[in-house]
Amino acid sequence: SYMSIIDQNASRFAARTKTGVISLFSSVDDTARFTAHWHRPSAILVRVTGEIDAVNASHLTEYATRYLDGHRALVLDLEGLRFFGTDGLVALDEIRRHCAIERIDWSVIPGRAVAKLLDISGDSGTFPLSDSIPEVWSKLAL
């Protein structure tokens, strides 16, 4: 699996900072890059750049949900995506289900590619969307 090398290296990259932002590590597949940041003890920010398509949409689900144990909030920053295919919507729906089951407050910063697809598909109301990181932090009950 594309994550195995990343997992072996995870502890090497983990670093605590006084600001409470911990950048754990990044993971790269053929078309996208995933980065997890710990914001305060209770929230995780997952930033995705590049492209989400049929090949790697499941990576989005896996990466966004794998570090959530013990956290109360997930922020998914998709602003840096150049392309977001319909399989990405399926991934978002799986993340939504996971957060509902685990009672995790979550928010998506869609960016242009994601917002465009949400408009076309009529799914804009399905997911908790935010315009920016500062807006998310003020909205989420941390």
Please report which helix (H) or strand (E) contains residue 18, including its range. none
Which of 70, 79, 80, 48 is closest to 61 using CA atoms? 48
Q: Is the pLDDT of residue 19 over 50?
A: no
Q: Which of the pair, 101 or 67, is modelled with greater confidence?
A: 101
Rounded Cα distance, 136 and 132, in Å? 6
Highest mean pLDDT among 32-36, 39-43, 85-89: 85-89
DSSP for residue 129: B
Tens of pLDDT, residue by residue over 76-119, are 999 999 999 999 999 999 999 999 999 999 999 999 999 999 99
Q: Report angle CA 120, 140, 138 to the nearest 5 degrees.
A: 100
